[in-house]
Amino acid sequence: MNILVAGFQHETNTFAPTLATYESFVRGEDFPGLARGEDILGLLNVNLPISGFINFVRGQGQSVTPVIWAGAGASAHVTTDAYERIAGEIVQAARTASFDAIYLDLHGAMVAQHLDDGEGELLARIRAVVGPAMKIVVSLDSHANVTEQILSLANGVVAYRTYPHVDMADTGRRAGELLMALTRTDQPAHLVVRRVPFLIPVNSMSTMMQPARGVYDLLEQLEPHVLSLSFAPGFPAADFAECGPVVWGYGFDKAGVERAIDTLFAHVCHPEDQWAVQFDEPDAAVQRAMRVSEAAGRPVILADTQDNPGVGGDSNSMGMLRALLKHGARDAAIGLICDPAAAAAAHEAGVGRRIDIALGGCPQVEGDEPLRASYEVEALSDGRFVYGGPMMNGKQADLGPMARLRIDGVRIAVSSAKAQLLDRNMYRTVGIDPERMKILVNKSSVHFRADFAAIAEEILVVRAPGPFIADPAELPWKHLRVGMRMKPNGPAFSP
């Protein structure tokens, strides 16, 4: 076969402050920058679904026609312009190219300014030009809000099984295996779907902990009896009716698939409160970190989850920095603070000089003013580095001019572009050795655990003020499905 392959990834927080523009996809932000045609083959050593798919199907003797790969960091809605330009390229290729099947590397939680279900709409447009007989397989992020339209228009859909997402390439491979299985027979595969009736907080989805680890362990025990099983806990910050977790699977024996899905669904839903999350407040978290770190040989890590750019924050809130300074924390580092003006001022002044600036500040968060102070410029960087941790290993990054600023006992990693602090090399690029710090404040929710858990004395999830509300029951929902519980054992949504 010759398989058309394309990717279009965005996780949309409809409550976030900043839109995803076409330029966001060109830059890539947390992802590699936009690539077209043969340039996509330059991503084959990066942990991405499209690389896992292409490497697998080529090993099976198939060929690929790569069209476009575009991803942008989580934010508010994808602009109409960005959506139409990128989706238009994919649909046009489906209309004109010569191929036998289609693979799409999608996220599953994309909301554009003009439509709620970005992936479902893309599939509908592709189906309209290729017809019902064309085999289409899709891979999704585990944070996908999997819609009826996605499942009805694709022949096969698979999702990540790890969070942090260390299995992105493996998921692409599994999509390739599913496509091969579907093309080897004329027998239709039965789809069975169950929708979980409550939202799951992002922080409890980590597969490095229970209950998520146990759910995916059970999924893999059940899967040999069917064709494919998936569970997406969802992304609980997209205000539309189909937001929420979904369990689904495929098989040629419908009764067997139903048994597997019922077993997995029951494990997800009971007890419901297994998914509840306890958050620390900033002052208490910093004070605990200081006490623990006095006798520890490894850093205490505080996850500044509500300003995580991986879920729609802008990586500029000052709550955690203020808490560190208030309590006199020493040998502490925080990153990344995205402030292009501060980085530019540091580069203009030079290493060893002091700059009087107003740093950061999130205008969408009440009371989160910029922190005006005198900062020492300790180091400068061009912001170019290579990810070394297990999640994005090998990915080239360019965060623009960067600086290490210091105020009292706190070092601050400042960037010109926002990116989730999930890799130790993000600190190292401005000369901060994370292993030698007593306290690290990472603007991340879960992904940082992939590279930082091994060096952490303790990890605390902190609810400092930020644009991403970590408890989904506190969000101002308007369009959620009526009756959906807004957190485990939480209140049911009523408009």
Four-CA torsion 210, 211, 212, 217, nearest 10 degrees: 90
Q: Report the DSSP beta bridge partners of residue 397.
A: 385
Residue 97's pLDDT is: 84
- Identify the helix (H) or strand (E) that includes residue 138: strand 135-140
What's the pLDDT at 456?
98
Length of the chain: 495
Looking at residue 223, its pLDDT comes to 97
CB 167 within 8 A of CB 100: no
Q: Give the pLDDT score at 30.
A: 84
pLDDT in tens, 80-93: 999 999 999 999 99
> What is d(CA 454, CA 276) in angstroms, rounded to the nearest whole number?
25
Contact residues for 32 (Cβ-Cβ < 8 A; gap 6+): 43, 46, 48, 69, 71, 395, 396
| 189, 252, 258 from 186: Cα distances, Å | 9, 11, 21
Q: Is 357 exposed, middle or buried (0-12, 13-18, 19+ CB in 10 A)?
A: buried
What local confidence, expressed as pLDDT, does residue 29 receive? 87
Cβ proximity of 236 and 200 under 8 Å: yes
8 A C-beta contact, residue 137 and residue 103 = yes
- Is the pTM higher than 0.75? The answer reads yes
Whether residue 332 contacts residue 407, with contact meaning beta carbons closer than 8 Å, is answered with no
Torsion sign (Cα): 19, 21, 23, 26: positive
Q: Residue 394 has what pLDDT? A: 87
| Measured distance between the N- and C-terminal CA atoms of the chain, rounded to whole angstroms | 49
Residue boundaries of the structural domains of the chain: 2-275, 282-470
**Rounded Cα distance, 243 and 315, in Å:** 25
Q: Which amino acid is at 341?
A: A
Give the orientation angle of helix 319-326 with respect to helix 282-295, to 10 degrees.
50
Only one residue has tokens 């909301």, namely 111
Residue 358 Cα distances to 343, 347, 352, 400, angstroms: 12, 16, 19, 19
Please tell me what DSSP assigns to residue 17: S
Respond yes or no on whether the N-terminal peptide bond of residue 164 is cis (omega within 30° of 0): yes
- Cis ω for the linkage preceding 336 (within 30 of 0): yes
Residues of the chain scoring pLDDT < 50: none
Percent of the chain with pLDDT over 90: 97
Q: In sequence order, what are the residues at sequence separation of 6 or more whose Cβ sits closer than 8 angstroms to the Cβ of residue 237?
A: 13, 14, 15, 16, 202, 311, 312, 468, 469, 472, 475
Residue 237 CB neighbour total at 10 angstroms: 29
